[in-house]
A and B are shown apart, each in its own frame.
Chain A
Amino acid sequence: ETGVTQTPRHLVMGMTNKKSLKCEQHLGHNAMYWYKQSAKKPLELMFVYNFKEQTENNSVPSRFSPECPNSSHLFLHLHTLQPEDSALYLCASSQGGLAGGQNEQFFGPGTRLTVL
């Protein structure tokens, strides 16, 4: 257990569906992240939130919509996805911008998404 939980663990959806991924951290951190891991590609950062404010959008298509209502929760809303969006989606958290450089990231178990 890393202190970061994700639900659901597996998700199968059609291209016209709307679904949401949820991440919760129990570490008292202030920064949260979404990463994408596709087959045979390195993990790619998607979004960063610091103190509930989005500080990074790594050129992610608008069919992925993040939401961070508080420092403990992070959502990724999905709509009209494509089959190539099938991947493992990982959430992470860290102390964030006030950590003074000690900004170790901790990851959740991931949601394995399949888009049909």
Chain B
Amino acid sequence: GIQVEQSPPDLILQEGANSTLRCNFSDSVNNLQWFHQNPWGQLINLFYIPSGTKQNGRLSATTVATERYSLLYISSSQTTDSGVYFCAVDPYNTDKLIFGTGTRLQVFP
């Protein structure tokens, strides 16, 4: 089956720093989502981005489907950005999201 790899696994930042999270996937996908899981377990939708670039405030994402990767950019990080960031793909338009192992982000004041 499709493999979804995220890097780095852990990231520690000081408030105000910028970061880039990467998601590689091993096959073509029809759907790609980025989520932020807060400390209470809630998965918050960040982007639905099977291809192209989107921006939402301090966050932006780019998916290059032909090269099978997606990037999530966080600018001017805040302590509230802490948590785990997941990339998830639907490889065959079958409504089955396959999740990566996540990037754990810690932002310190």
Contacts and interface: CB of A to CB of B under 8 A. Distances in A.
Interface in B67-109: 86, 88, 90, 93-102
A104 B48 contact: yes
Nearest to A96: B95
A109 B95 contact: no
Interface residues of A, number: 28
Contact of B31 (A90, A103, A110): A103
B-side interface size class = 20 to 34
A101 B91 CA distance: 11
Majority secondary structure of chain A interface residues (helix, strand, loop or mixed)? strand
Given A42-B102, A43-B86, A107 B96 contact: no
A94 B95 contact: yes
B97 A45 contact: yes
Given A2-B45, A109-B42, A110-B41, A42 B101 contact: yes
Nearest to A43: B99
Contacts of B12: none
A103 B94 CA distance: 9
Contacts of A92: 97
Contacts of B35: 107
B95 A106 contact: no
Contact of B93 (A45, A90, A101): A101
Interface of A: 2, 31, 33, 37, 42-45, 48, 50, 55-56, 88, 90, 92, 94, 96-97, 101-107, 109-110, 112
26 contacts: A2-B45, A31-B95, A33-B95, A42-B100, A42-B101, A42-B102, A43-B97, A48-B95, A48-B96, A56-B94, A56-B96, A88-B41, A94-B95, A101-B30, A101-B31, A103-B31, A103-B90, A104-B31, A104-B45, A105-B88, A105-B97, A106-B45, A107-B45, A109-B42, A110-B41, A112-B41
